[in-house]
Amino acid sequence: MLNKLLTLLMILVGLNVYAQPTIAVADRDAILLDGKWRYIVDPMENGYYNYRYQVNPNGFFKDQKMANESDLVEYNFDTSSQLNVPGDWNTQEDDLFFYEGTVWYKKSFLYSKSDKRAFLYFGAVNYDAKVYLNGEKLGEHQGGFTPFNFEVTDKVKDGENFVIVKVDNKRKLEQIPTVNSDWYNFGGITRSVKLIEVPKTFVQDYSLQIKKGSLNEIEGWVQLDGKSPKTVKVEIPEAKVSVTAQPDANGLAKVSFKSKLKLWSDKDPKRYEVKISVGEDVVTDKIGFRSIEVKGQDILLNGESVFLKGISIHEVAPFTAGRVVAPEQCRTLLNWAKELGCNFVRLAHYPHNEDMVRIADEMGLMVWSEIPVYWTIDWENDKVFANAQKQLVDMITRDKNRAAVIMWSVANETPISEPRTDFLRRLTETARATDNTRLLTGALEAHSIDGYRMLDDPFGQYLDVIGVNNYCGWYGGTPESCADLGWKMTYNKPLVISEFGGGALQGMHGTATERWTEEYQEAVYENNIEMLKNIPFLRGTTPWILMDFFSARRPLPDIQDYWNRKGLISDQGIRKKAFFTLQEYYQESPVQLKK
């Protein structure tokens, strides 16, 4: 499985994405490079190109200093302003709120050389990152929501060093996501930066989970990096498990064993401390073990049917409305979901901060995780596919050991066409080759026929769970027209209504027929919930959305002001009336599930 994953990564050479496969960062010795970074805004990219459109050999990445008083150097990081990392530039500086383009970041740090290997790790940079260490280019990465790293063992110096990153968040047709989306294009180094130290031979990656179709058989693998393969040991002390394995010539060690472990669930999110060691390298992680599968129209968690009481969430921080930068912000959002009555969250529309997934794992919230293949992209462009495929593999690679993640989603609201369906089919093949233990889904669209909403999207044949976005009462019809709406589906599969809802400005009140009032939003929810009760194959919902969030698509003065107002909670944490409507529905038993 891992060899297939690495093969998939190799196809990305044509994208000029040179970052190496990410290493396991949990419980590693690291120098945290978060904090204040110097920055220079460079809309003309003068720090990168010269007048002949070639890369400037003396660009900003050199951090050039004046050699004498008559020397001409037209930038100076040392006297430039500072931005917080992790963080977005849009909400830190008012004059950068709408800025899309290049910003250069610089961070100086001290380092003491040792006999260990060193990796420079970025949790995420939006979108195009070119990374330099001490004036030398390390490589590039494209994609705003997945981690990447570079080995710097032979490049980092004893003493003072500096990292410079060219960050460019300009939207382009050939990117994933493309030029049009309904969330904010936050630019910057948006997640943590670390300098990680590991032994010469170390655990590069690992996977450990219940074998598909079993409840007591564990299987997995450990991938080593280094010249001297050694015996790998995997231990679960609480369960008295200790197994060893010999890596092959490529450093891959496979493990399997039987053990009667207490299974992770939304009601009891049991996790075990797992210890993986090779030589002097020891990695510890907390891993839950559970099975997830479908049987006809049911979703089975550990062999029992489950209804997914969910909510969609953007990675937007409560109270600041910027990109999430701290575990406490993740916990606030997930606690709100718990208060709502959720056992499930849809982390839309891109891989969220790793803290979000780990905290959901701890709290017993099942997770739908997706990549930003969103609306209309260039379906027939091989480089676009390779980009989407890379982001999918990176998402799975990072979160494959989190029991909370039960579904990988490969798309949201993509108009039907043969090239689109083939594009998405190939993504499902990638996902199954990388991880065959989870369910695959995507948010599709239905159409009206004979008074019904019909789901017959040809892409549905490749999915385990059908998702559908449906905004009855908001983008079509009145709230009252939704209650009796019937549904049909050509697939004998479980359905999750992945989006429904409407907008409301918190604190604006009026009649249930007046747009933007809390009463109108409440009426949308009340009538859509009546519709949900009449869908026999419904197995979950993730209404849109937990909290209001910035969106450049939403300019309506005095109502939106560049906010998407579909949140059940305002950005300041105030619950709207529809919050309690959905909460009441979730406190009931939405469907009678089979045992």
* pLDDT digit string, tens, across residues 275-320: 999 999 999 999 999 999 999 999 999 999 999 999 999 999 999 9
Query: Would residue 211 be called left, alpha or beta, if left means φ above 0 and alpha means ψ between -120 and 50 degrees?
Result: beta
In the DSSP assignment, the letter for residue 469 is: E
pLDDT for the residue 22: 78
Res 401 pLDDT > 90: yes
Give this prediction's pTM.
0.94
Q: Which residues pair with 578 in a beta bridge?
A: none
Phi, psi of 529 (to 5 degrees): -65, -40
Residue 88: partners with Cβ closer than 8 Å, 6 or more residues away: 126, 186, 187, 188, 190, 322, 323
For residue 265, the SS3 value is coil
Copy the structure tokens of residue 25.
């960062």
User: What's the rounded Cα separation, in Å, for the pair 141 and 119?
Assistant: 15
* pLDDT digit string, tens, across residues 135-166: 999 999 999 999 999 999 999 999 999 999 99
Find how far residue 360's CA is from the centre of its chain: 13
Confidence of residue 16 (pLDDT cuts 50, 70, 90): very low
pLDDT for the residue 11: 42
Find how far residue 290's CA is from the centre of its chain: 21
In the DSSP assignment, the letter for residue 523 is: H
* pLDDT digit string, tens, across residues 231-243: 999 999 999 999 9
Q: Which residues pair with 232 in a beta bridge?
A: 245
* Nearest residue to 37 via CA among 185, 164, 158: 164
For residue 74, the SS3 value is coil
Q: Contact 28/96 with Cβ under 8 angstroms?
A: no
User: What's the rounded Cα separation, in Å, for the pair 265 and 403?
Assistant: 8
Taken in order of first residue, the domains within the chain and their CATH numbers are 16-198 (2.60.120.260), 202-292 (2.60.40.10), 293-587 (3.20.20.80)
* pLDDT digit string, tens, across residues 508-567: 999 999 999 999 999 999 999 999 999 999 999 999 999 999 999 999 999 999 999 999
Copy the structure tokens of residue 279.
């030589």
Sheet holding 202-210: strands in order across? 202-210, 217-225, 252-258
What does the DSSP assignment read for 17-67?
Answer: --PBPPPP-TT-EEEE--EEEEEEE-TT-TTTB-TTSSB-TTSGGG----S
Res 86 pLDDT > 80: yes
What does the DSSP assignment read for 409-458?
Answer: EEEESPPP-HHHHHHHHHHHHHHHHH--SSEEEEEEE-EEETTEEEE--G
Confidence of residue 54 (pLDDT cuts 50, 70, 90): confident
Average pLDDT over residues 349-370: 98
What does the DSSP assignment read for 171-208?
Answer: --TTSSS-S--SS----B--S-EEEEEE-SSEEEEEEE
Q: Contact 48/56 with Cβ under 8 angstroms?
A: yes
pLDDT for the residue 7: 46
Phi, psi of 532 (to 5 degrees): -60, -35
